[in-house]
Every structure is written in C-alpha cells, then in structure tokens.
C-alpha cells in the first residue's frame, strides 16, 4: 500500500498501464517534459519517451481528432484536456465521431480512448476553468463518463477506463487533487465502470453524489449527527441506479448533491428515476443541492456557488422534518 494523493494515484495508474501495454500513449498540451498543468503526467516523458508522451499544439479539436484516429488504428490513447471549459472545441470529435464510431461501423471499428479532464471549482481559477459540464456528456449515448472522489477509486477506475473498448471521459475533480491522501494498493487492480460505492451505511435518508462534492457530503453528515447513507456514484454514465434504488427503498428519503447548475443537471435525472422506481417508498420529495443556474462566478464568490456542508445540512434538516 502507498499513501497517495489523487494526482499521485492517477500518475501511478498511467505508469502501470503504459508498462503493461505498449499500445497506451498520452497526448495533450504540456503533458511531456512539463508534466501537464497539474503535473499529473510528471516523469512520464522521461520514462516512456517522446513517441508515447506527446506534446500537442493548443488545439483541443486536433488533440481529440488525432486520438480518435489513433484509437481506430489499434492504439489506446489517453488525451489530456487541460480544463473542462476547453472541451467545447472538441465536442464534434467526441460526440459525432468517438461516441458513434462503433454504431456507425456496426462494430467494425471501436474507439478505445480515454479523455482525462480536470473538472469543477474550488481552486480560484478564472473563467472556463471551474465548470462542471458532466451532464452534457452523459446525454450522449456511446460515451462512458467517470468522476472519482478518492485516490483509491481514481487509480482503479482509470485502469478500467484505459482497458475499456469504448471512449471514456475521465473527469478529475481538481479541488481534491492534493486535498488528502489515502492508502492505495501499489499492485494493479480495477474498479468496475458503472458500479457505485456505498461510502457509509445509514437508515434515515440516502445522499447521492460524485466527485469533490462527496467530501462536502461527508462533512455535512458528520455535522448532522444523523444516520445517513452516502452513495458515491463514481460512474455517472451509466450510473448505478440499482444501488440508488435499493437504498432509497430502505430509507424513504433522498438528496442529490452536485456542483453543476440545478436545471437539467444529472441530479434531475436521478430524482426522476427515483420517483419512477421508488415513489411508493418515499416519505418526502427528493431534494437537490447544487450549483446555481448562473455562469460560475470568479473566485471571490466561488465558494458561495459551490454546495457546502451548510447548504447540505439545511437540506438534511428539511427533508427529515418533512
């Protein structure tokens, strides 16, 4: 076991998979000698060489377009996009080509591609550096979307993503890149894509979250003193409705927490599915604690925008009292 941060766990996963499979390569802006904007790929250029760790121009459409072609040609590329706000220029390549290639060619061609993307707020970054656009990509069939909340899960999920035969967007919550450490197995292991993790058991209500918001949920639960079950989805496309449904049927109450704006966020889909599958078991309406329906503000108001333990705590009190 090694005591690692999220950044270190991802770096270890990349090293192990590149050593195991010489088809795996990395491309992106400053991923080479510089080690990436957050130093996630630090040391990989020296270890594996310029043909497997490739610096690219500042052109996200070119990065993903090239990666799609490499994947169709038999390699397993890992493309790094520096910030989630820069995914926009690559939307066509991701959703028109990577996501559809298997269907378009009747499985004659697949795109085993991982797109690594730092995501979310909390680091006082400027515009287009702090958004949470995961719902956009969960709405596109053909893509898997992953967002871990811990170093252990990050390593196991990334290994699963690299080995997946289809494209995976791997969102990395930058707020917790170096926020804490966790014991992570040094040997290879995988965490299945599409399988949620029950972080803690409880009987009073079910709380569902993913990414950095899981930490805020834990803080709120500890402050409340209540017996609350916390589910970390880990994979948000496809998400593990079976685990969510089983929990809500037991507790009778549900709160969904995420950083993205309220309207049409993934929380809306989860709430709808809970209503469809668990309606007769509910003791109160499903609540959502989310970002607001505004552009992510600059750093002085950033923490007012993000769900925190206080806002989550108010939702806990309201739903329990219902």
Which amino acids are annotated catalytic? Answer: 129
Among 29, 138, 159, 158, CA closest to 94: 138
What phi, psi does 179 have (nearest 5°)?
-75, -30
| 69, 72, 74, 76: CA torsion to nearest 10 | 70
- Cα–Cα distances in Å, from 263 out to 62, 259, 289? 31, 12, 11
- Cα–Cα distances in Å, from 63 out to 10, 90, 93, 118? 20, 8, 9, 16
Strands in 205-209's sheet, in edge-to-edge order, are 197-200, 228-232, 205-209, 254-261, 287-291
Cα angle value 143/189/215 (rounded, 5°)? 70
| C-alpha atoms less than 13 angstroms from C-alpha of 179 in its C-beta half-sphere | 17
Q: Are strands 197-200 and 235-237 parallel, antiparallel or unpaired?
A: unpaired
């Amino acid at each position: 076991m090694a005591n690692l941060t999220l950044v270190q766990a991802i770096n270890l996963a990349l090293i192990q998979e590149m050593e195991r499979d010489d088809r795996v390569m990395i491309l992106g802006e400053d991923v080479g000698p510089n080690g990436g904007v957050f130093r996630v790929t630090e040391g990989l250029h020296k270890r594996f060489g310029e043909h497997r760790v490739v610096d690219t121009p500042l052109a996200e459409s070119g990065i993903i377009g090239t990666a799609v072609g490499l994947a169709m040609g038999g390699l397993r590329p890992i493309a790094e996009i520096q910030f989630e706000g820069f995914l926009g220029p690559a939307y066509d390549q991701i959703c028109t080509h990577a996501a559809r290639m298997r269907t378009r060619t009747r499985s004659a061609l697949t795109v085993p591609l991982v797109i690594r993307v730092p995501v979310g707020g909390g680091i006082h970054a400027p515009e287009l550096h702090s958004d949470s656009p995961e719902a956009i990509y969960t709405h596109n069939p053909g893509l898997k979307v992953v967002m871990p909340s811990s170093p252990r899960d990050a390593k196991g999920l990334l290994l699963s993503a690299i080995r997946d035969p289809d494209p995976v967007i791997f969102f990395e919550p930058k707020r917790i890149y170096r926020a804490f450490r966790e014991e992570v197995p040094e040997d290879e292991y995988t965490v299945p894509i599409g399988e949620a993790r029950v972080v803690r058991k409880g009987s009073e209500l079910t709380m569902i979250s993913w990414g950095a918001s899981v930490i805020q949920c834990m803080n709120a639960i500890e402050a409340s003193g209540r017996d609350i079950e916390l589910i970390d989805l880990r994979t948000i496309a496809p998400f593990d409705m079976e685990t969510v449904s089983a929990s809500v049927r037991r507790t009778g109450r549900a709160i969904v927490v995420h950083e993205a704006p309220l309207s049409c966020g993934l929380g809306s889909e989860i709430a709808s599915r809970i209503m469809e599958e668990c309606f007769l078991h509910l003791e109160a309406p499903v609540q959502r604690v989310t970002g607001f329906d505004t552009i992510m503000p600059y750093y002085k108001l950033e923490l007012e925008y993000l769900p925190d333990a206080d806002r989550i705590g108010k939702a806990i009190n309201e739903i329990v009292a219902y």
